[in-house]
Amino acid sequence: MDRLDHDTAAAMLLWQVDLGVTEALLDAPLNRYDLAEPVRAPAAPAARVTAEVLPMAAPDPVAEARALADAAEDLEALRAAMTAYEHCELKRGARNTVFSDGHPAARVMVIGEAPGRDEDTEGRPFVGRAGQLLDRMLAAIGLGRESPDPAQAVYITNVMPWRPPQNRDPLPEEIGMMRPFLERHVALVDPEVLVVMGNAAAQAVLGRGGITRMRGRWGEAWGRPVLPMCHPAYLLRNPENKRDAWADLLSLKARLT
C-alpha cells in the first residue's frame, strides 16, 4: 500500500472518530477481511493500558509564567526569568529580549505593545521613530526617560519583550502568557500611574481593546490609575490625531500635579 499523505491520513482518522473509535488496540493496522478467524487483541496489564492510552499532560505556559514571575524578587531576577522563558515562539525569531528603559523609581510607567526592528536591534523599548515621538510628547509635559529625578522621569516597557514577525500585532495567546510577567513588572516598579499605549497594551492591562474609543478615559488596574493612549506609531500614520494625544498628555500632567 502506498504511503498515505498527511491530509488523507487525517481524514481517515476523523472518519474513524466519527464512527465511535476511542482507542487503538494493536501497534499496526490489521485487515480483518483477510483473516479466516477473528483475532482479538491481547490483554494488557492495567498499568500499561493507562500509560499507553492517557497522554502526558501538556505544560501550562501561563501557569509557568506566573510561577517564574512570582518568584522574581527584583527587576534583574524578573529580566532573567523572562529571558529563560521558552513557551513564547516569538523569542526564537528575536535578536534581543527587550526588557525596559528609563528610571525604575519613576512615578509614571509607560507600557507599549511590542518591540519593532530598531528596538529588537538595540534591546531597548521605543527607540525608533515612534520612540522619538514618544520622547517629544513626554518632554512637552516635563517628563523624560533620561531624567535622574523620579518625579520627572518615566519607566518604559512593553507587553511583549520579543519582536513579532513583520511587526504584526501580538496574538491574544501571546499576550496571555506574558501577562504574568507584566503584572509582576508593575508590582516591582510600583509606579503611581500607568500609561498604556495601543490596543495590545490596553488588552493586557485593562482586559479590553478599542484604543481609539478608550483613549483619554482613565481606568484602573492592579490598584493603579491607568490612562489609555494611542500608540505613537499610530500618531505617525494619523497625524490629525495628535490633538487628542496632547489632551491626553495634559490629563496625565494634571493627575501628577
> Average model confidence (pLDDT) for the chain?
88
What's the pLDDT score for residue 62? 95
Q: Which amino acid type is present at position 118?
A: D
Question: How long, in residues, is the chain?
Answer: 257
What's the pLDDT score for residue 1? 46
Burial (CB count within 10 angstroms: exposed 0-12, middle 13-18, buried 19+), residue 31: exposed
Q: What CA–CA distance (Å, rounded) separates 22 from 208?
A: 40
Cβ proximity of 198 and 113 under 8 Å: yes
Classify domain 62-256 by CATH number: 3.40.470.10
Phi and psi at residue 30, in whole multiples of 5°? -135, 125
pLDDT below 50 — which residues of the chain? 1, 49, 51
Report domain extents, the chain: 6-53, 62-256
Q: What CA–CA distance (Å, rounded) separates 257 from 95?
A: 40
- Name all contacts of 52-61 with Cβ < 8 Å and 24+ positions apart: 53/23, 59/87, 61/87, 61/88, 61/177
What's the pLDDT score for residue 5? 72
What dihedral do alpha carbons 84, 157, 198, 182 form, nearest 10°? 50
Q: What CA–CA distance (Å, rounded) separates 199 from 170?
A: 10
